[in-house]
Structure 1
């Protein structure tokens, strides 16, 4: 802009100037030009400049014309740096350029089906679902990766939205290429105007309109030397991509994984697969796939060798393995062997090397040996515990164990307990993986003195068992145990009021068996499924110079059912009986009792059931228990804390058939804190029909694991 100031007035003219100049400008005009102009009445003379009031509006200057020079070169002014204002202006300009009519026209031309991602983000697709059948998966994927979606409801300016929209536009284009739409168009609209609105609102919005175009297909497929494998047809079927199929990069990744699994599970330990290369030809609208595969020869399992043959010999490792010599090599079985060796607890690390013994010839597989490199772990454990419980009183426990005292996997353990109600000394032998994976042989000898509310018993026993059990590595749907026991015991009911009951000696021998069906989803913290366990133990008892035969049996059932987000309802039932003998002929320690943290919460240990005239629990020959609880996740401590309301019931009868004359009910509330090795349990139970002489108003139980 050219600025003009007030006119510059000359100070004077030279009075000795030539006459012709004085004729034009007389002295009076020089001395007082304004009055001279008025007096001579020259209409062309300028009027007197008016006085400008401070608040008066500015008028254009009359009579002044300035011609702009043709060759004037002025420097460009520096722009003012305001990125947000520029982005916002650009965003609104884009909105104004399209306008509501333009948007409606575009929607009509492309037949868009609108999907609203959130309040500030929408996507338009062709309304023909066949034109883009992957829409549902596409939307979920975009939503998980969208930078606009990351705002998560936070306030954002149009400039921020504009920057994120550019990144989302590139994301949409990449996703479309993943699904094979290499000519797809993504049209972006940024603004803050709702349809029908006249003013720009404060909440910015983004819309993407997607025109997929024609989907490319797979062209030529090169899998290298895969056709040299004896199982080519099956392996090629595992890689389920053929020419002319719709192109999809995800399928390449998934099918490559499937082929790798198929090679590893059908005898090809040395197979190698190079990274896939996709060459897209836009003229043909095809993608040629090259993924070079080298099968490396097919093998069967051979021997398993150990780097520590005296510690864990190779023959024992073959016992642990779930494969036999001569079976086709499977990578998963090799990995399973490694996990099983670590699960013994005897080694700190395991490395397995595949060693060809014989090479494949034609369609005949070669033989593959597995060389196992082991590092010993610490084998000796000293453990101790000290505590107090309302049921057990004070208790101090200590143990020493050598987990491979008798190789392989022969453990020796000494254990001692000194407590208010229990004293025990025992020595035990356990052989893990005995003759077969997950089979355990145990032999225990112990001497104990136990005093409970129901029984005083001094016992010496020898017990052996052979079992196949579930473990954390492999939870089995069916497990079992068999065993035998010989027991000498000197027992009597508790002394009450200083009146001792007579002691009686029993010599007991018997065998037992147990079987469990388990469909639950977890060994430590199940949330669905059921478990069913049956136990039988025929025994012979000699006392008072006579022999008595009887059968102890028990049936346990538990059921777990999720009933909503974070809620599991769990139920338990138990039935037990002793058949073939009268109650007084059965040693008190072999009778049936109820009550405590594992049966009817709210009552003391063995406190539920019939009592004699002295108030002592006498036990019985039949038992029925039931429990129902809800395990409710709270979300506290990253979801580790549960609250568990529960109700329990139990009854014990003197006869071998339940009579339900006296039923004890307990209710309460518990908490569970979930850890990596199982939940820590704290239950507070209240007996509903308690006997004030024997039952406390409240009972607290602390243990590891769920109640059932």
Structure 2
């Protein structure tokens, strides 16, 4: 096609685009001209000029153009248009739309009751739950409500009166309610959700949105069939194990109970000699027609066994014999998982191991109805064995006390520790060496030999002492608090001591050589070693002693009894009380070295007074010490919400008396009172006490401050 022909075709298409031409073309569909006939020669010769002339007017177009228009007359008929005029069309009559009611919130008190005899539980201003009034229809109501409050989306998010937000939360809470109802076995329960205005009888703002859930629990499903897999392979232990699984046919279904009983059965297997028992997760098949659920929990006992020995992976560090000694079982005892876990804790408590992995290994398979034998392989990972430690303490009456130590906890395997320690303080200086053997000749038994030299400068006396002390004991530790603790020992003491005269001058020193057999026992019923909240403790000390002073030998008995009691009151308050009685019969006061006499006062005694400054006084006003002592203390440990509850406030009052005779005379009773602050740490409370003497003597300060770790008693 040439450019000329293309231009002519474009002009023709433009012409065909004219509405009149299109109408005529539509009218004459029976005699349609060819495209070539519509293009004149002038358009072909000079298409630009021809196209600029426009459409040539027809006779009919001229007639229409010259006819005047009458505003009141209809338009003249157009021969090319056959569509009737709208006045000639009869349209069907449409029924008028009914007016819509205005959208309003549903008023809870006007709505149709979902639970005909329901009772409301208003969780918050935004949330109302309605339960059946009859308690027997849903006896778990209180527990159910507590769990829902803890998990509710509406309760957890802020209340901002936003209806869209509340509607979304309501859908989530509806699903939560249905899940909780399933937990209690109400698988056909109905939960009806309504979003509307707050009940006018209980709300202040009638325009704020709220959600109401009507709960229709329906029938609670019961347990149908129970399949515990191969549990009968446990043989004569089957009845005991089946009794440990406390779900029976016909019991109400509780998903919580199903989970709890899986744990109980697993525990029973582990405590009955089945170290390799396996339990798969339980499944519940619910039958809505029967209103029952069938429980399936595959169990494989995998044989019953007895304990063999403990096999150490590092016998030179901790021997197999030593580990077997500290285990709480004897060889041949039925395997129990708790004893295996106890051995792991005991091994970690030595401080020698960073980690312990215990694995039962079959030595002999069960046969002829008799249990097999398993050894316990112990994979050991060493911990750092050396420790450098230090501490600082301060009391307004005692002054500053710095203590430091270095120790190697396994210098003499197994568990043979050597410690070098020292004290530098205002009133005391000390250097000593300690040897300790843990788990010696039995579990939790400790042999300790301590040799040290010290100087002490108290208001009551001055002493230079060398001591050798050996003890064999079984006492509570931070990991193992024991109901019964005991200790026996031997003390050899050489001390040079002097009292002070009225001018405060040191008198001539006297030499004392002392041998003692200290004994100790304690019953502990409290719930925590460092921060007890309930229970009691009762302890006693008895130390027969022989003393030689300037060629004169004396025999006496130092004795002491302590009793403490703790009781929780409310949610965050603990009341604590303590009483102490001590006596030294058998020798006059002057035959007893000043360091072995009885004193009171200080942070662990009667707060508000100086350390060991309560008792009979000499002419200079310094305490002489005594042969009898009575102390009483009471305090309230009140928790606060400060620092996430870590801080508590402790008001307290103490009293104490020291007498010259073995029996108390109460001639001089000192009282102290004050308030303290406790900060809970991961290893016990940090204590700060500020105390005031209520009846101070001439040498007592008006206030005393004490800082220490742990409660005062």
Give TM-score scaled by structure 1 length.
0.84
Structure 1 residue 670 corresponds to structure 2 residue 679: no
Q: Which residue of 2 aligns with 1:441?
A: 447
1:557-576 aligned within 5 A: 557-576=563-582
With over 3 angstroms needed to count, the CA separation of the structure-2 counterparts of 1:687 and 1:242, relative to structure 1, is: closer
Q: Which residue of 2 aligns with 1:700?
A: 705
Instruction: Report the CA distance between 1:394 and its aligned residue.
Output: 5.1
Equivalent residue of 1:550, what SS?
strand
Equivalent residue of 2:297, what SS?
strand
1:448-507 residue CA offsets vs partner (Å, 9 max, x unmatched): 221111111122221111111012222112111111111111111036637441211111
Equivalent residue of 2:441, what SS?
coil
Partner Cα distance (1:702, 1:195) in 2: 58
Partner Cα distance (2:391, 2:212) in 1: 66
Contact 2:502 2:618 in 1 (8 A): no
Instruction: Report the CA distance between 1:211 and its aligned residue.
Output: 2.2
Q: Which residue of 2 aligns with 1:593?
A: 599
Pairs aligned (count): 631
With over 3 angstroms needed to count, the CA separation of the structure-2 counterparts of 1:200 and 1:17, relative to structure 1, is: farther
Q: Which residue of 1 aligns with 2:260?
A: 254
Q: Which residue of 1 aligns with 2:498?
A: 492
1:451-466 aligned within 5 A: 451-466=457-472
Partner Cα distance (1:530, 1:562) in 2: 12
Partner Cα distance (1:608, 1:100) in 2: 73
With over 3 angstroms needed to count, the CA separation of the structure-2 counterparts of 1:595 and 1:102, relative to structure 1, is: closer
Q: Which residue of 1 aligns with 2:298?
A: 292
Partner Cα distance (1:365, 1:286) in 2: 39
With over 3 angstroms needed to count, the CA separation of the structure-2 counterparts of 1:500 and 1:159, relative to structure 1, is: closer
Instruction: Report the CA distance between 1:347 and its aligned residue.
Output: 0.8
Equivalent residue of 2:463, what SS?
strand
Instruction: Report the CA distance between 1:395 and its aligned residue.
Output: 4.7
**Regions of 4+ moved over 6 Å:** 64-70
RMSD: 2.9
Structure 1 residue 224 corresponds to structure 2 residue 233: no
1:319-338 aligned within 5 A: 319-338=325-344
Partner Cα distance (2:295, 2:694) in 1: 73
With over 3 angstroms needed to count, the CA separation of the structure-2 counterparts of 1:188 and 1:542, relative to structure 1, is: same
1:205-235 residue CA offsets vs partner (Å, 9 max, x unmatched): 2222222233332222222111111211211
Instruction: Report the CA distance between 1:306 and its aligned residue.
Output: 0.5
Partner Cα distance (2:111, 2:639) in 1: 52
Partner Cα distance (1:196, 1:482) in 2: 73
Instruction: Report the CA distance between 1:446 and its aligned residue.
Output: 1.6
Q: Which residue of 1 aligns with 2:10?
A: none
Pick from 428, 437, 461: which aligns with 1:422?
428
1:76-102 residue CA offsets vs partner (Å, 9 max, x unmatched): xxxxxxxxxxxxx98x47x38xx8665
Partner Cα distance (2:147, 2:262) in 1: 21
Structure 1 residue 190 corresponds to structure 2 residue 195: yes
Equivalent residue of 2:153, what SS?
coil
Partner Cα distance (1:677, 1:543) in 2: 44
Contact 2:558 2:584 in 1 (8 A): yes
Structure 1 residue 619 corresponds to structure 2 residue 625: yes
Give TM-score scaled by structure 2 length.
0.83
Equivalent residue of 2:273, what SS?
coil
Equivalent residue of 1:180, what SS?
coil
Equivalent residue of 2:601, what SS?
coil
1:531-542 aligned within 5 A: 531-542=537-548
Q: Which residue of 1 aligns with 2:112?
A: 103
Equivalent residue of 1:251, what SS?
helix
1:601-623 residue CA offsets vs partner (Å, 9 max, x unmatched): 11111211111123332111111
Instruction: Report the CA distance between 1:273 and its aligned residue.
Output: 1.1
Pick from 314, 317, 330: which aligns with 2:320?
314
Q: Which moved more, 1:165-174 or 1:321-330?
A: 165-174
Structure 1 residue 173 corresponds to structure 2 residue 178: yes
Partner Cα distance (2:470, 2:445) in 1: 14
With over 3 angstroms needed to count, the CA separation of the structure-2 counterparts of 1:66 and 1:474, relative to structure 1, is: farther
Contact 2:186 2:219 in 1 (8 A): yes
Instruction: Report the CA distance between 1:388 and its aligned residue.
Output: 5.9
Partner Cα distance (1:66, 1:422) in 2: 124
With over 3 angstroms needed to count, the CA separation of the structure-2 counterparts of 1:116 and 1:392, relative to structure 1, is: closer
Equivalent residue of 1:312, what SS?
coil
With over 3 angstroms needed to count, the CA separation of the structure-2 counterparts of 1:268 and 1:616, relative to structure 1, is: same
Contact 1:158 1:191 in 2 (8 A): no
Q: Which moved more, 1:130-139 or 1:286-295?
A: 130-139
With over 3 angstroms needed to count, the CA separation of the structure-2 counterparts of 1:126 and 1:684, relative to structure 1, is: closer
1:114-129 aligned within 5 A: 114-129=120-135
1:316-367 residue CA offsets vs partner (Å, 9 max, x unmatched): 1122211111111111111111111001000111111110100112421110
Q: Which residue of 1 aligns with 2:220?
A: 215
Structure 1 residue 506 corresponds to structure 2 residue 512: yes
Contact 1:453 1:605 in 2 (8 A): no
Structure 1 residue 238 corresponds to structure 2 residue 244: yes
Partner Cα distance (1:285, 1:701) in 2: 67
Partner Cα distance (1:448, 1:495) in 2: 23
Partner Cα distance (2:87, 2:536) in 1: 101
Pick from 144, 151, 160: which aligns with 1:138?
144
Instruction: Report the CA distance between 1:200 and its aligned residue.
Output: 9.9
Instruction: Report the CA distance between 1:263 and its aligned residue.
Output: 0.9
Partner Cα distance (1:159, 1:307) in 2: 64
Structure 1 residue 358 corresponds to structure 2 residue 360: no
With over 3 angstroms needed to count, the CA separation of the structure-2 counterparts of 1:138 and 1:634, relative to structure 1, is: closer
Q: Which residue of 1 aligns with 2:658?
A: 652
Q: Which residue of 2 aligns with 1:4?
A: none
Equivalent residue of 1:103, what SS?
coil
Contact 1:493 1:616 in 2 (8 A): no
Pick from 521, 544, 551: which aligns with 1:545?
551
Q: Which moved more, 1:449-458 or 1:396-405?
A: 396-405
Structure 1 residue 160 corresponds to structure 2 residue 178: no
Q: Which moved more, 1:180-189 or 1:697-706?
A: 180-189
Larger radius of gyration: 2
Equivalent residue of 1:287, what SS?
strand
Partner Cα distance (1:385, 1:169) in 2: 58
Equivalent residue of 1:206, what SS?
strand
1:295-314 residue CA offsets vs partner (Å, 9 max, x unmatched): 11111111101111121111
Partner Cα distance (2:181, 2:392) in 1: 65
Partner Cα distance (2:231, 2:90) in 1: 81
Partner Cα distance (2:437, 2:423) in 1: 23
